[in-house]
Amino acid sequence: MKGSRFHACATCIHFHAFRMDGNMKYKCERLGYDTKPSYQFNCWTPKEHVLRLIEKERRQATPLKSDNNIDKES
């Protein structure tokens, strides 16, 4: 998943946002750090809907093989 445009704390399963004293707080439950939605750590585990988006982009970027490219025996 390294290098994904989706790689950010906000798309990780360990990211939690909550309101404290009227302000938004963000925490990585895995690392125990305060964080921000745009931060990136190497331990990123994307949420299920993000995995689907990554797969969709991968499929769209990969050209389909056609029957025209198959060598035909004469």
15-65 residue pLDDT tens: 999 999 999 999 999 999 999 999 999 999 999 999 999 999 999 988 766
Cα separation, 12 vs 60, whole angstroms:
23
Is there a domain that residue 68 lies in? no
pTM above the 0.85 mark? no
Residue 70 lies in a domain: no
Q: How far apart are CA 72 and CA 74, in angstroms?
A: 6
Identify the helix (H) or strand (E) that includes residue 59: helix 48-61
Looking at the domain assignment, is residue 65 inside a domain? no
Which run of H or E residues covers position 57? helix 48-61
69, pLDDT greater than 60: no
Number of domains in the chain: 1
Pairing of strands 15-20, 23-28: antiparallel
Residue 13, domain member (yes or no): yes
Question: What is the residue range of 50's domain?
Answer: 1-55
Q: Is residue 35 part of a domain?
A: yes
Looking at residue 65, the DSSP 8-state letter turns out to be: P
Tell me which of 66 and 57 has the higher pLDDT: 57
Q: Does residue 7 sit within a domain? A: yes
